[in-house]
Structure 1
Amino acid sequence: MARVAEKPELGVFMIQDFDGQVDLEVGGTVGQLSSNAVLSLVGTHCFVCEKPLTSDNSDTTRITREDLFPKWLKKNFMGPGDKIEKSNGEFILLSKNIDSTEDLVPCCRNCNNVLMSQVENRISCGVKGGYARFMKISDSDIFLWSSKIIYGLIYIGVNTWDFSTKEASSGWLKSEALEHLKLTSLLMKGFRKRVVVSSEKRPFSILKFHLKNSRRTSPNYGYRDSISWPTTLALQMGSVGLIVGFEDFGFLEWWYDQNYGELLRGKCLHPAQFWEIAGRAVYAGGLGGWDVSYSIIENEKGMFITLDPRIREGHPEDPQRLADIVAAFTEIPDLAKIARPGTTPTLLIDKDGNYQDMPA
């Protein structure tokens, strides 16, 4: 994350961004809502600020419908018709389109139309402007925008809100899915105040890719995520590829740099290669995990959170699982076929061990 020259009023930042000098007049501590407590708020409270929702048109807490996949994204990169493919507990594969009613979550007017809209506008301009312009967007904005999507999808996936009947019903995910985003839900307060994190590593990873984009690589968008550990989101948006790992303390960034940083530096990837990397990232992230303890001091303008992450064991090594994930993410079944034990097929490297440049 770039060093902050001036102290922003909103966003998520590391204490290192402020040269260790943070002016937060804060006091007291706050607790953390359990997943069951979160579920009790669906439809009656904003999913971002958790304030009670009203029907009063003059109130900033009036209930609105937040599009998790924003209208500009649907207009420029998606088409009408298909729905979200419901997650099987591990992935949501949005390789086609998304129905206009499948991604709506109850949100207060202030969070939706003011606070989140400011971040949304910056993301929209960056993505529509292409890869070079997208690279100028702050990591704080990218993290918050991505958090809104993944947390919102899990939020309504666990307990779906029907805006016509004004009733909640059990969704397609178990409530345990919310447990993987406890810390992320706290960091989302960066939409409405300055959140400063004290930790050796920032509690997320962001990987950005330049993608080949032409009619022959249509569709020029796609969405994948991992609901179980590690909670990960990947988006293809024209010439922009984005992978965000949540609560992984920079692991995916380290993993990518160690395995592909030199090989892919400066390369413009075919979308299928991007999806292979996304699948491999999900697999690698699942080999370990983090237990995190934290302390918080907070007021209306800011939050200071100190994190103490401890690594824990994840999935065992399993080349076939890796191949299956890559095949699912790329939608290329042959990538699930392992020819030699201990190896997995790849689109990234040719038979001589060099980068494989796939034509658009």
Structure 2
Amino acid sequence: MLYYPFQKFSFDNKTCFLSGQTLTSSEEQIQVFPSWLMQHYHLEEKPFKLLDESITTYKKLKVPCSADTSDRLEKLEEEVKAAFLGGYQEVIKLNKQLLFQWIGKLLYGIVFNEIQIGIRQQHMSGEAMNFSQVLAKKFSNLHVMLQSMIKPMEFEGSLPFSINVFEIDSPEDKFSYRDEINTLVFSLRMNNFGIVACLQDNGANNRYHERKLQLVSGKKLHPIQFEEICGLFFYSAYLFNRLPEYAILPTEEIVYIEPMPLAGMDTRPIFDTFQAKTYGQVLENFWKPWGFTLFEIIKDPENPMTFLADQNGSFRPCETIDLPKTYGD
């Protein structure tokens, strides 16, 4: 029932990226970034940087896809499109598993393109493809879960991801996207909302940031506050030191997926030690539009700069933050 492309490293353009079905034409492809999103924000010809530092465009990122699979994905896309263009109040109504599928399809599509480039480069150099077994396991697990878009699938116990949606006090409707492929963490800001997601942590990052999430729950955020939350999640995803395992049980009717306990036989804490300087470097990158330097951010190493809370630890309302609501570059 399930397709495992990482077993034989099948990443050609003759096989559907999701179902494994053999394609009849090289024209059977879909965009990684959906057409409606690219058109709405004029992204088609904008540069997209890949891991090898090469530059492509949003429009050139595609994956091979059968007509059957494409039809299924189109229904998902229409639901997400309506919600995203409708804004925060519509996005929070979306099922978290559906959001996971949409985000996961996008990230996996980028991974697929990165692997194809890697294969071509290795072929040109005459060397065998050298791919991290840890990443192969992680991406393979993600791919199995994404098959929930075309097969009946049930996640038992805890969900295998952390996804949060926030309302943002945005000056205008602009698009901002980030990802970190190795840790499968993602952020998106558009319209009047932002999403941050860790796609394979079994909810661990949400538990790690529980106090911060409670602090901002139901609050409208200044863009710099949302970027701070993104910085926290991108950094904690880097500190997360487990490779989650899953019990996968395919039956004739449905595929069951159950996350295994993260502790396992490992006695270490699930997250490595928080380092203020490294976190400050992450935050400096997320706060580039406002020009804060690492020195300013970690002037007090025990208490890095924050816009989420005031000196008393209470939430800082977005209207009290005297900074431009810039989106930056």
1:286 partner SS = helix
Aligned residue number for residue 120 of structure 2:
169
Question: Partner letter of residue 231 of structure 2?
Answer: G
The answer to whether the aligner puts 1:306 opposite 2:266 as a matched pair is: no
Specify which of 120, 124, 131 is matched with residue 81 of structure 2.
124
Is contact 2:276-2:302 (8 Å) kept? yes
For the structure 1 residues 143 and 315, does the alpha-carbon distance in structure 2 shift closer, same or farther, using more than 3 Å as the test?
same
Question: Partner letter of residue 251 of structure 2?
Answer: E
For the structure 1 residues 308 and 276, does the alpha-carbon distance in structure 2 shift closer, same or farther, using more than 3 Å as the test?
same
Is contact 1:115-1:192 (8 Å) kept? yes
The answer to whether the aligner puts 1:206 opposite 2:163 as a matched pair is: yes
Is contact 1:30-1:296 (8 Å) kept? no
Is contact 1:336-1:345 (8 Å) kept? no
Aligned residue number for residue 125 of structure 2:
none
Specify which of 294, 310, 329 is matched with residue 350 of structure 1.
310
> For residues 166-203 of structure 1, what are the alpha-carbon distances to aligned partners after superposition, in whole Å with 9 as ceiling and x for unaligned?
xx7249x974344322221111111112111223x111
The answer to whether the aligner puts 1:328 opposite 2:279 as a matched pair is: no
For the structure 1 residues 134 and 320, does the alpha-carbon distance in structure 2 shift closer, same or farther, using more than 3 Å as the test?
same
Is contact 1:154-1:178 (8 Å) kept? no
Specify which of 244, 266, 271 is matched with residue 291 of structure 1.
244
1:349 partner SS = coil
More helix by share: 2
Give runs of aligned pairs for residues 93-242 of structure 1, distance below 5 A.
Answer: 99-112=57-70, 114-160=71-117, 169-170=120-121, 175-176=131-132, 177-199=135-157, 201-215=158-172, 220-229=174-183, 231-242=184-195
* Same amino acid, percent of matched pairs: 20
State TM-score, norm by structure 1.
0.75
Aligned residue number for residue 53 of structure 1:
23
Where in structure 2 are there 5+ consecutive unaligned residues? 123-128
Aligned residue number for residue 226 of structure 2:
274
State TM-score, norm by structure 2.
0.81
For the structure 1 residues 247 and 174, does the alpha-carbon distance in structure 2 shift closer, same or farther, using more than 3 Å as the test?
farther
1:260 partner SS = helix
Is contact 1:65-1:107 (8 Å) kept? yes
Displaced runs of 4 or more, over 4 A: 29-33, 312-315
The answer to whether the aligner puts 1:37 opposite 2:21 as a matched pair is: no
Question: Partner letter of residue 64 of structure 1?
Answer: E
Work out which structure has the larger RCO, using CA pairs closer than 8 Å and 6 or more positions apart in sequence. Answer: 1
Is contact 1:103-1:153 (8 Å) kept? yes
Where in structure 1 are there 5+ consecutive unaligned residues? 1-28, 56-61, 162-167
Shifted more, 276-285 versus 290-299: the winner is 290-299
For the structure 1 residues 297 and 324, does the alpha-carbon distance in structure 2 shift closer, same or farther, using more than 3 Å as the test?
same
Task: Return the alpha-carbon distance in structure 2 between the equivalents of residues 207 and 258 of structure 1.
Answer: 14
Specify which of 72, 77, 84 is matched with residue 36 of structure 2.
72
For the structure 1 residues 46 and 136, does the alpha-carbon distance in structure 2 shift closer, same or farther, using more than 3 Å as the test?
same
